[in-house]
């Protein structure tokens, strides 16, 4: 089967739910921006263009959030997704940060189930393939004032997905962004907010201009500590058996795959540590042999080894991946086996959709 790529084709339907603030509750906006309203008119409808006013708040003040997760077909034909409750919880954390209404977990899960049940023929069966699910929430109110919107739309669309980076899994090259940032302290970095991704694009173009696949963002407030890539979290494997990833400081997205990797590392008896790590420690650790692997993780890419890091005129390459001993590849295999129904779901992470 030809790979469907990523985000290029879409299923026949989408789920839509509206939220409207109750009349007379405008005074509550300043103290509780997502209170006094209700979700209503849940519906399944054909996938297609949205009809929105040019004055819709989402276009002017970027009041929106989204999530991303995958549905996998198992050998018996059933369709499952991975830790959707964690996505529902993160959606609501993002909603609080962007002054949007929270969505009950059961509604989030039912929206996923309804769409996949309706469009289940779109769930691919090829190796490494899945149906990518994209729930999102946008401010739809026709209003140009600067305040939380009184009308919100929640939708779920779906797209068949292949390997995120395409073809054979191979180490990606990374450009270090020293001038640009995706988020700042006190900002929206911990939310899955489109503005964070928009803020990463100029740096991604810079990375591409230097022949790199992805960009790495640093935190200048904490000695240029490693934060994350444009859309993935970063991990380091140390020779002493430690698994290290940057700590959550409010500027880093708390990835569902990230938390899963942390747990699977603990399951292996590794010393799992969330702490500050700098490019200088990365460089020195590779040179000394103290750092044995570096990899990135996220819903779309799952786990991808990191090879060369380009930092201005300087560059260095992390150790080559040995399939026989690689922690990253071993965790990746376990994650994929679990998601596709070939592993032991000892943590109860799978959720059946169909």
What mean pLDDT do residues 264-283 have? 97
The two three-digit tokens of residue 116, written as one number: 């996949």
The residue among 156, 10, 15, 137 whose CA lies nearest residue 66 is: 137
Percent of the chain with pLDDT over 70: 94
pLDDT reported for residue 29: 55
pLDDT reported for residue 32: 59
| Residue 165 pLDDT exceeds 80 | no
* Cα R_g (the chain), whole angstroms: 21
d(CA 305, CA 247): 20
Note whether 137 and 103 are within 8 A (CB): yes
Note whether 131 and 160 are within 8 A (CB): yes
| Residue 172 pLDDT exceeds 60 | yes
What confidence category does residue 6 fall into, taking pLDDT thresholds of 50, 70 and 90?
A: confident
* pLDDT tens sequence across 120-144: 999 998 888 999 999 999 999 999 9
At residue 50's C-alpha, the angle toward residues 47 and 53, to 5°, is 175
What mean pLDDT do residues 23-30 have? 57
The two three-digit tokens of residue 63, written as one number: 């009041």
The two three-digit tokens of residue 186, written as one number: 């006190």
Cβ-in-10-Å burial (0-12, 13-18, 19+) of 263 comes to: middle
| Residue 167 pLDDT exceeds 60 | no
What confidence category does residue 24 fall into, taking pLDDT thresholds of 50, 70 and 90?
A: low
pTM: 0.94
pLDDT reported for residue 162: 83
* pLDDT tens sequence across 92-113: 999 999 999 999 999 999 999 9
At residue 28's C-alpha, the angle toward residues 23 and 31, to 5°, is 165
What mean pLDDT do residues 67-83 have? 97
What confidence category does residue 81 fall into, taking pLDDT thresholds of 50, 70 and 90?
A: very high
Note whether 137 and 144 are within 8 A (CB): no
What mean pLDDT do residues 298-314 have? 94
Q: Give the Å distances, CA to CA, from 279 to 228, 237, 246, 297, 315.
A: 12, 15, 12, 18, 11
145 CA to centre of own chain:
31
Q: Give the Å distances, CA to CA, from 296 to 131, 161, 174, 181, 288.
A: 21, 19, 11, 18, 21
Burial 169-180 (b: 16+ CB within 10 A, else e): bebbbbbbbbee
What mean pLDDT do residues 43-50 have? 98
The residue among 224, 233, 231 whose CA lies nearest residue 179 is: 224
| Residue 164 pLDDT exceeds 60 | no
What mean pLDDT do residues 207-213 have? 97
| Residue 166 pLDDT exceeds 70 | no
What confidence category does residue 28 fall into, taking pLDDT thresholds of 50, 70 and 90?
A: low
pLDDT reported for residue 1: 47
- Tell me the backbone φ, ψ of residue 254, rounded to 5 degrees: -85, 90
d(CA 124, CA 192): 26
């Amino acid at each position: 089967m030809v790979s469907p790529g990523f985000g290029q084709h879409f299923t026949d339907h989408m789920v839509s739910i509206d939220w409207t603030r109750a009349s007379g509750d405008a005074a509550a906006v300043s103290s509780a921006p997502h209170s006094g309203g209700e979700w209503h008119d849940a519906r399944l409808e054909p996938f297609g263009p949205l009809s929105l006013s040019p004055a819709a708040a989402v276009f002017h003040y970027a009041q929106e959030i989204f999530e991303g997760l995958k549905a996998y077909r198992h050998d018996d034909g059933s369709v499952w997704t991975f830790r959707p409750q964690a996505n529902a919880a993160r959606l609501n954390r993002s909603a609080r940060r962007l002054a949007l209404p929270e969505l009950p977990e059961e509604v989030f899960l039912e929206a996923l189930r309804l769409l996949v049940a309706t469009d289940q023929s779109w769930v691919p069966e090829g190796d490494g393939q899945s149906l990518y699910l994209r729930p999102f929430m946008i401010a739809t109110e026709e209003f140009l004032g600067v305040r939380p919107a009184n009308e919100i739309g929640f939708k779920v669309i779906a797209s068949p997905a292949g390997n995120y980076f395409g073809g054979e899994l191979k180490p990606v090259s990374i450009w270090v962004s020293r001038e640009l940032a995706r988020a700042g302290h006190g900002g929206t970095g911990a939310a899955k907010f489109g503005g964070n991704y928009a803020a990463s694009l100029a740096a991604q173009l810079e990375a591409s201009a230097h022949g790199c696949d992805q960009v790495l963002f640093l935190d200048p407030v904490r000695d240029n500590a490693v934060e994350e890539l444009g859309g993935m979290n970063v991990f380091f494997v140390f020779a002493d058996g430690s698994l290290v990833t940057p700590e959550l400081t409010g500027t880093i997205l708390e990835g569902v795959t990230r938390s899963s990797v942390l747990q699977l590392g603990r399951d292996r008896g590794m010393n799992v540590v969330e702490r500050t790590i700098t490019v200088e420690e990365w460089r020195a650790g590779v040179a000394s042999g103290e750092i044995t692997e570096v990899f990135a993780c996220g819903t779309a890419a799952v786990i991808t080894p990191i090879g060369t890091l380009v930092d201005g005129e300087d560059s260095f390459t992390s150790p080559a991946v040995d399939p026989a001993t690689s922690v990253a590849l071993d965790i990746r295999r376990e994650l994929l086996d679990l998601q596709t129904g070939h592993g032991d779901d000892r943590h109860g992470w799978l959720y059946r959709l169909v």
